[in-house]
Amino acid sequence: MEDVLGNSSFSDYFSTGFPLQSMLDFSCEGDTMPLGFMELLGVQDLNPSVFGMTPQAPLVTQPLNNPCSPKIESPAEILNQPATPNSSSISSASSEAVNDEHAKVGDQEEDQQKTKKNDGGSRLKPKKTNQKRQREPRFAFMTKSEVDHLEDGYRWRKYGQKAVKNSSFPRSYYRCTTTSCNVKKRVERSFSDPSIVITTYEGQHTHPSPVMPRSSLVSGASAVATTFGMGMQRTPSHYQQPFAADALSPLNSGQNGSSFNPSFLHEGSFCSPGASLLKDHGLLQDIVPSHMLKEE
């Protein structure tokens, strides 16, 4: 099992058999939306500003790994049984991610130090570690959006941009501006559908969501609902799904060669019969810490 996101671009997959098909074929048969992606992102004290997506940016986001889809059966998923009902298949994140999950907070500082040593200092100093560069767990989203950089409640600094092979759209690299937080994210457009933005988060925030980003001050909590929760039932064209990076594995791709159909994004039927799921808990259950839900 390879860390697909780490070794190849989404575009590669879009252009080579569209493995996303499996991810987008949300034939959810389960009764829950077991995706606790924010937990996996390390957002533990999510406040309403998180995911205060830019209001003017129409969003339709999909996780590239539908936890409900029985079609996704990467070895990682099979091996990594969900620790909690709410996070079930999310642990389908790459095995590396799972390992990191185990290491998680405890090793975070260490990882950061390693990262600094390896990525930063090593530029001028000869790196001498026989360890492979450690990668954080990564989770990506497909988002139907006009803007590349979606507001998610955190502040990001763009530190790089690279042209992606087999894609006419560049990939942008962002880093959380909070000191001591080395969460990164990559943003790129789908090669097959330029209206789709693929955002890949790497690492876990070590801090609560900062103050409302300037551009999102307008909406705040309502944006959260609109984008991730209730809004998903009201406005089917606005939803977002996380997916485990591993979902892009060629393993998954081989299951269905048919092309990715972006129009599906508009159907608002991810986890199709589960519209009501979203009503009760739905994504909110997954993206909002349980204690927050309890408070409500």
Residues contributing to the site for DNA (CB under 7 A): 5-9, 12, 116, 118-120, 122-124, 126-127, 132-133, 149, 155-165, 171-175, 177, 184, 186
Tokens of 242: 């996380």
CB of 165 or CB of 266, closer to DNA: 165
> DSSP E strands: which ranges in 98-212?
138-144, 156-163, 170-176, 184-189, 196-202
Whole-number minimum distance, CB 81 to DNA, in Å? 26
Whole-number minimum distance, CB 160 to DNA, in Å? 3
Give the dihedral sign, CA 207/212/213/219.
Answer: positive
Cα torsion at 243, 245, 250, 253 (round to 10°)? 10
CB of 186 or CB of 238, closer to DNA: 186
CB of 89 or CB of 200, closer to DNA: 200
CB of 12 or CB of 286, closer to DNA: 12
Tokens of 71: 């079609």
Whole-number minimum distance, CB 132 to DNA, in Å? 6
Whole-number minimum distance, CB 91 to DNA, in Å? 21
Whole-number minimum distance, CB 180 to DNA, in Å? 14
CB 258 within 8 A of CB 18: yes
Whole-number minimum distance, CB 62 to DNA, in Å? 20
CB 267 within 8 A of CB 236: yes
Whole-number minimum distance, CB 234 to DNA, in Å? 30
Q: What is the rounded CA–CA span in Å between residue 206 and residue 107?
A: 12
CB of 157 or CB of 279, closer to DNA: 157
- Within the chain, where are the H helices? 4-7, 10-15, 20-24, 37-41, 75-79, 95-115, 221-228, 231-234, 250-253, 275-280, 282-287, 290-295
> Which of 287, 269, 279, 195 lies closest to 231 in space, CA to CA?
279
Q: How many residues does the chain have?
A: 296
Whole-number minimum distance, CB 138 to DNA, in Å? 9
CB of 144 or CB of 171, closer to DNA: 171
CB of 133 or CB of 266, closer to DNA: 133
- Within 9-64, where are the H helices? 10-15, 20-24, 37-41
* CB-count exposure of residue 278 (10 Å: 0-12, 13-18, 19+): buried
CB of 186 or CB of 205, closer to DNA: 186
